[in-house]
Amino acid sequence: MRLPRLLVTGFGPFPGMPINPSATLARRIAASPRLRRTIGTAPTLLILKTSYAAIPEALEPALAQRPDAVLMIGVARRATRIRVESRASNRASRLFPDASGAVARDLTLDRGGPSGRRSAEATRILVPLRTVGAIASRDAGRYLCNASYYRVLAEGCPAIFLHIPPLPDPSRPRRSRWRPRRRPLDAWTDAFVDAALILLAPARRLTAHLEKGRGPYAAGRTSLGMNAPSVRAAASNANNPM
């Protein structure tokens, strides 16, 4: 039996963010006992260098392994709440260098691609994340978060990008009216695990269906998983032009 495969990504440091909390959170999610117990295996963890070169060098090889779902996390320096990104745009900015000092080669990420790609899961993902004060967003920015999200959404598998605010400095007054009852990382980890399970729901249903022997591919094809073209196409509309 092929178990559902989840890819969890975070980012390393970049100018102005020497310690990136998205990497810390991604590691916590990948190590979650509840997540591992529910899906029967450990997720794949990928901490990307905050560089444009990391997309072809690290992200694309991870996508070549055909994950059933991708949970992406990044930090937005000016955010005060978690943002559930529903779309990625085919645009980049050359104003902000990456961690290696490079900027985007062009203002367009993919000259042959649509102007935007959207996640079909954004609305469902927002529901459990309301418990940690999350809000919906249609603008993932013009930096590496948007660029990597745009690339992932081209795969057609369930995927979401979650922008988190910087971890609060206890010495500074809070700007947000939302007051967590738990430490942010603890609350975020639990909520993001719930989000991951929503992303994996189609793959988990298919696995259960095949295991019971009712599916057309059950005989000798239990490793089919979410990577059948028809199943992947049904799971997400992410590749549709905006």
Instruction: Please state, in angstroms and rounded to a whole number, the distance separating the CA atoms of residues 2 and 146.
Output: 31
174 occurs within a structural domain: no
Instruction: Report which of 221, 202, 213 is spatially closest to residue 2, judged by C-alpha positions.
Output: 221
Report mean pLDDT in 10-residue bins for the chain, 242 residues. 92 91 98 96 97 98 98 95 98 94 95 97 96 97 98 98 86 57 89 98 84 54 44 46 50
- In-domain check, residue 241: no
Specify the pLDDT at position 206: 84
Residue 78 lies in a domain: yes
Residue 240 lies in a domain: no
Q: At 153, is the secondary structure helix, strand, or coil?
A: helix
Is position 242 within any domain?
no
In 3-state terms the chain splits into helix, strand, coil percentages (rounded to 5) of: 35, 15, 50
**How many domains does one find in the chain?**
1
Taking the CA atoms of 234, 235, 241 and 242 in sequence, report the sign of the dihedral they define.
positive
pLDDT of residue 44: 98
Domain that holds residue 46: 6-168+180-235
1, part of any domain? no
State pTM to two decimals.
Answer: 0.83
Query: Distance (Å, rounded) from C-alpha 72 to C-alpha 61?
Result: 16
pLDDT of residue 233: 46
Angle at 120 between CA 193 and CA 94, to 5 degrees: 90
Question: How many C-beta atoms surround the C-beta of residue 221 within 10 A?
Answer: 13
Cα separation, 80 vs 87, in Å, equals 20
Sheet arrangement for strand 83-85: 44-48, 6-11, 69-75, 159-164, 83-85, 135-137
Please check whether residue 39 lies inside any domain of the structure.
yes
Q: Whole-angstrom Cα distance, residue 205 to residue 215?
A: 11
Q: In this structure, is residue 198 part of a structural domain?
A: yes
CATH number of the domain encompassing residue 12: 3.40.630.20
The secondary structure of residue 56, as a DSSP letter, is I
CA 186/CA 191 separation, integer angstroms? 9
Strand ranges inside the chain, DSSP E: 6-11, 44-48, 69-75, 83-85, 87-89, 116-118, 135-137, 159-164
- With beta carbons less than 8 A apart as the criterion, state whether 30 and 8 touch: yes
